[in-house]
Structure 1
Amino acid sequence: MLENLKPISKDAILGIMALFRDDNNDEKIDLSVGVYQNQEGVTPVLSSVKKAESQLIEDQKTKSYVSIAGNSIFNSSIQNLIFGKDHDAIQSGRVSTIQTPGGSGGLCIAAHLILRSNRKTKVWLSNPSWPNHYPLLKLAGLSLEQYPYYNYQNHSIDFISLLSAVEKMNQGDLILLHGCCHNPSGSDFSMEQWKELGYLLKKKKVIPFIDLAYLGLGDGIDKDAFGVRFMAEILPELIVVSSCSKNFGLYRERVGAVSVVSENKDIADLTLANISNLARGIYSMPPDHGAAIVGHILTNQDLHDLWEAEVKQIRDRLNSIRALFVKKMKENNASQDFSFIGSEKGMFSFLGIDKDQIIRLREEFHIYMVESGRVNLAGVNEINVDRVTKSIIKVL
């Protein structure tokens, strides 16, 4: 049987990680992997997480299953965090949420819900998008298309082309949007663009499918959630997949959720039954530990305040390192203008350099990034920023 399997091409990011691991140079720098790193190059455990975890371990009396839908405190808390507890969609019972094994688990459940609802529909992905969006959704069986998103020449959203693409979408199609901190470009919609896009989706009866993996890391919780909240306000249906990997630092705990906004409470109840049924058939029960931590933080005011302060520290560091990167490139007389990096959000950006230049950075300067040109700016700090920027200038 197994001899019939076909070879699988290596994951690009995992391949770069392996090269980095095998590099014995003490000054090597990793700008490829998609995790947050602090000034010391560590992906830290947040203090709020440590406190919540210790309290939960002290009080925990069983390791029995929780439920197919996951941790109920987590589910209600994450709903309130994303939509705002006073949002009409919450108050009217239009939102159905289940806990999932990470954001990827949420994407899987959402994909199967879409297929169960309408097998003929298309899902449109931004060009570019998170590299795993396409294989994950394709493996589930969805029909996928692309819409233009990023203009590589002027380093900004190609909003006019995006709107033109939406005009050509069919009723019932879904458009996958990044809620904030677009991965890989770092280029986000303005509030005005969210509104214009939302009204066009309403006119075309196209359903937003929003991946919210970086809530809080762009402009803060409320501003980062603006697009989701606005869409839920004006549209009858919406799918939101969220992750707690980045904003809670719970990468290995696999904490995520899928939240579906329906037209009314009756359909929301029907939706909840269906996404729970899908979860039962795919992984049965989600892991509780990370979700319990998040639920405890979000329902304890002191821990909630501490967590928000820690998220602000992460956000401030990302914004300050962007500003410092731009400053250093200018001071060192870079032949290209890199000011666009200062206006982007989150961890990622496209430097606008080609594959040969990226290979030179790796082989000559021991600086690693994926060959698409995406760079994780969280890998830059005050200690290595001079070497990073000067090395980039040398390959331009």
Structure 2
Amino acid sequence: MFENVKAIPGDALLALMMAFKKDPTPTKIDLGVGVYKDDQGLTPILPVVKKAEALILEHEQSKGYIGPAGAPELAVLLQTLMLGDDHPLTKTSCISTAQTPGGTGALRVAGDLVNALNPKAKIWVSDPTWSNHFHVFAGAGVEVRTYPYYDAQANALAFERMLEEIRQIPAGDVILLHASCHNPTGIDPTLEQWQQISQAVADQGLLPLIDCAYQGFGDGLEEDVQGLRLILEKCPEALITTSCSKNFGLYNERIGALSIVASTPEHCSNVFSQACNCIRANYSNPPAHGAAIVSTILSDTELRQQWIQELAEMRSRIHRMRANLVQNLEQLSSDRDFSFITAQKGMFSYSGLSKAEVKYLKDEYAIYAVDSGRINIAGINDGNIDRLSQAIFKAINR
């Protein structure tokens, strides 16, 4: 069976990560891998997570299965985090949430669910989007298509083209929307644009699949889900995928969730049972530890406030690095305008750097970024920003 199997190319981002690790240059800079880093260039364990783990270690009594849907207490806590304490959905049993292995696991269950409910449905994703969206949905047997999102000339949202394309998508198809901190561009719609997007999605009879991977990393916990809430005002049915990797720093604990929104409790219960069936056929039960950490933090008033503060500090550092990078490049008298970077949200930025300029940065300065020019702002710190700015200046003026 294995004799004639051929190797396939690995993921380009993972290959970039491996190349960075092997590079012996002491001043190398990693702007590729999409994880948060602090001023020392490390992906830290939040102090509040350490506190929660100490409590779990002290009180944990079992390592038994937690069931396909995961921890029920986590479901309620994540729902209120996204929607607020008094959202009507949480009072009417029209939302159900299943814990999953990370946001990626949630996306895969969503793909399996779409395929189970309507095998003819296609999932439409933004152009560009997180590259793994294509692999995950293709693995679930769902056809993936794209709609316009990025205007390369203006370094901005291609809003009119996006809206025009949404109005052409066949009814019954699924449209994936990034709740905030769009990956990879960092460009989010305004609230007014979200109003128009949500109305177009509703008018067209599409099922919104909202990827909420970065809540709290843009403008704030409440601000980053305003678009999501507008969608739910217009659309009676939706799927929402959640990740706790970034805002809790729990990358390797693989904790996420899939939420199902329906127009009636009965419909919600029926679809949720189908989702649990998809889970059972895939990984059977999600891991418990990450869920316990998040539940412990969100259910304790003191820990929750500490987490909110630590999240705000991460967000503030990213904002500061954005502003400092743009200021540095302006002071170098570059002919290219980089001011748009400060308007972008979250960790990522479509920097406007060309593939050739990215290659120059890597070859000459050991600065690693994605070929598209997407950079991880969290990879910039006070110790490397001057070198990075000088390198970018030389790359675009050589």
* TM tier relative to shorter chain: over 0.9
CA distance in 1, matches of 2:237, 2:3: 45
Aligned to 2:136: 136
The root-mean-square deviation of aligned C-alpha atoms, in Å, is 0.9
Query: 1:33-58: CA deviations, max 9, x gaps?
Result: 11000111111111111111100110
Q: CA deviation at 1:86?
A: 1.0
Q: Residue 233 in 1 paired to residue 230 in 2? A: no
CA distance in 2, matches of 1:193, 1:89: 24
Q: Unmatched 5+ residue regions in structure 1?
A: none
CA distance in 2, matches of 1:69, 1:119: 23
Aligned to 2:85: 85
CA distance in 1, matches of 2:134, 2:335: 35
CA distance in 2, matches of 1:388, 1:236: 47
Q: CA deviation at 1:85?
A: 2.3
Q: Residue 15 in 1 paired to residue 19 in 2? A: no
Q: CA deviation at 1:233?
A: 2.0
Q: Residue 395 in 1 paired to residue 383 in 2? A: no
Check conservation: 1:89, 1:233, Cα contact below 8 A: no
CA distance in 1, matches of 2:139, 2:259: 21
Check conservation: 1:335, 1:393, Cα contact below 8 A: no
* SS of corresponding position for 2:290: helix
Instruction: State, as a whole percentage, how many aligned pairs show the same letter.
Output: 41
Aligned CA distance change for structure 1 residues 19 and 95 (closer, same or farther; 3 Å) = same
Aligned to 1:265: 265
Q: CA deviation at 1:336?
A: 0.4
* SS of corresponding position for 1:116: helix
Query: 1:119-150: CA deviations, max 9, x gaps?
Result: 11111010000010011111111011100001
Q: CA deviation at 1:167?
A: 1.0
CA distance in 2, matches of 1:19, 1:277: 40
Aligned to 1:167: 167
Letter matched to residue 281 of structure 1: A
Q: CA deviation at 1:182?
A: 0.3
Query: 1:199-231: CA deviations, max 9, x gaps?
Result: 111111111111111000001111101111121
Check conservation: 1:89, 1:232, Cα contact below 8 A: no
Query: 1:254-297: CA deviations, max 9, x gaps?
Result: 00000010111111111121111111110000000001100111
Aligned to 2:251: 251
> Structure 1 stretch 135-144 or stretch 246-255: which is displaced more?
135-144
- TM-score by length of structure 2 reads 0.98
Letter matched to residue 345 of structure 1: K
> Structure 1 stretch 79-88 or stretch 173-182: which is displaced more?
79-88
Aligned to 1:116: 116
CA distance in 2, matches of 1:28, 1:341: 22
Check conservation: 2:75, 2:96, Cα contact below 8 A: no
Aligned residues between the structures: 396
Aligned to 1:39: 39
Query: 1:89-125: CA deviations, max 9, x gaps?
Result: 1111110100000011100110011111111111101
Letter matched to residue 309 of structure 1: Q
Q: Residue 382 in 1 paired to residue 378 in 2? A: no
Check conservation: 1:174, 1:208, Cα contact below 8 A: yes
Letter matched to residue 262 of structure 1: A
CA distance in 2, matches of 1:240, 1:5: 37
Letter matched to residue 362 of structure 1: K
CA distance in 1, matches of 2:395, 2:80: 47
Query: 1:142-194: CA deviations, max 9, x gaps?
Result: 01110000111111100000011011111111111111000000000111111
After superposing on structure 2, the runs of 4+ consecutive aligned residues of structure 1 that deviate more than 4 Å are none
Aligned to 1:299: 299
* SS of corresponding position for 2:3: helix
Aligned to 2:65: 65
CA distance in 1, matches of 2:258, 2:138: 18
Q: Residue 372 in 1 paired to residue 372 in 2? A: yes
- TM-score by length of structure 1 reads 0.99
